Structure 1
């Protein structure tokens, strides 16, 4: 049996010569297939012995990190085409994708914002208002770090390591994780801190990063209302919430080519298909992945 690299080369050759794909379509197929191959490499599996259960775990991982159902369907469609090729060319006797289900695409899909729409959201903020820089910093931190809204409202100054460009996040079940933070987000925090330093802060609230006009830390509802109002001001018609920015973070990384396990680690997820996700990851790998694949860090 040929190894996975040889099989993939044969498949790419087949797509080029027999399917006559354009360069862009071919690149998209290869990017989506790479997501599966990276996953299988961590599971110590080759494409020749993949089972339906392996593919279901991979698909569950896409769902768990909040990838839009349409993107999930596209990725799984490309994987089906790959395994059909393996069967037709005799690399496998069976096709493990035959019973692999795609997510249902209904009328009410979770929305995702493009980088341009996040920029549009931030550009619509009136910086002459006292909360202007605070709100820009909130949106930028949500998008650049993929935080849950509960993690954002409880974020404390002592959790910021801005010189090292990391944030220590306390997630669900009191689990801690380190998430790289972009230079853009650090810059927006700096503008907010200039304003924050002139505030009267309530005793006991001094360590919270984001405060309301009364010097107390924000609530989840306050963030939700702010983002909905800002979307309206920006002319964005999608129904969005703070969680939309977390989904947008995950989608931007996945579409940029980041490893699925890295995204799960950054989000603080333990997928049903992936246990002990930190076993194979260290902070330098997390930093490198987000520097290479998040739009706030990629050179245009």
Structure 2
């Protein structure tokens, strides 16, 4: 087995067996491609089934000069997954990455926006343009429902269950979940669909997609990032924000206002509640209130 065949098979495994998104598969592929390039450039003639820890450690040592600790950690995790796949398929008996340690990194706390800052961003949208109503609906959906950017661009008209107060979201690994949608978010989506969207020349492939570009095609992740960055400039918001910032703000504001962590986990589509627990840092006063209100010793 050569490296390119192994990489091709691994990508098919990630897509078919694990159901990962295109972005996740490309991320894994990039990790393996970096290793392949390193081996070729250094004339290391060893197959995926024979490579040992020493060669991999040399590779990681060289790559570490170019990557920060978080990127190194992700690379090591990707390589471990690749060799675990080879073990699963019976090509190897052991994982050569097993004893390779990832660099220690602190947990990055998410950036958030206050409600007045979100209102400033929305107020900065030029509703006189053809894209104004669409962009307002996108921002409200990111914040009002806590969606990932990939979930927003893939949202379909057939996923909108407004009478029931929910939207159906397809998240990571093609896992579906129902997320409550508030009246304001619903109103802005309906206004966009009824007004701006109906005048867009929709391409046949995208007739069910909610948010479209001016040519009637699905928006890209990069376009959503650009929309958010431009709005931050217009609103003179002195923060480095992205579409994901609205998702963080959604979870943070829910927690600050008394929502329980399990409910937030379900709405965000986190597989593990430990991922959701990152938001517990935000409002220490909320934790004090929990003790004050619910602990039997609080009134002594």
TM-score (norm 2): 0.55
Alpha-carbon distance, 1:208 to partner: 0.3
Partners of 1:236 and 1:104 lie apart in 2 by 27
| Residue equivalent to 1:124 | 124
1:79-98 deviations in whole A, cap 9, x for unaligned? xxxxxxxxxxxxxxxxxxxx
CA contact (8 A) 2:265 2:273 kept: no
SS of alignment partner, residue 126 of structure 1: coil
Q: CA deviation at 1:105?
A: 8.1
Asked which structure has the greater RCO (Cα within 8 Å, sep 6+), the reply is: 1
Deviation at 1:110, TM superposition (A): 3.3
CA offset digits 1:158-193 (Å, max 9, x no partner): 000111110000111111110000100011112211
- The answer to whether 1:145 aligns with 2:145 is yes
Matches within 5 A, 1:1-300: 104=106, 110-193=110-193, 194-271=195-272, 273=274
Moved over 4 A (4+): 103-106
Deviations 1:63-117 (A, max 9, x none): xxxxxxxxxxxxxxxxxxxxxxxxxxxxxxxxxxxxxxxx9588xx532011111
Q: Distance in 2 between matches of 1:272 and 1:139?
A: 26
Q: Which runs of 5+ in 2 are unaligned?
A: 1-104, 276-300
CA contact (8 A) 2:262 2:273 kept: no
CA RMSD of aligned residues (A): 1.7
1:169 match: secondary structure = strand
TM-aligned CA deviation for residue 124 of structure 1? 0.5
Work out the CA distance in 2 between the residues paired with 1:177 and 1:199.
Answer: 29
Count residues with an aligned counterpart. 170
Shift of residue 273, structure 1, vs aligned partner = 4.9
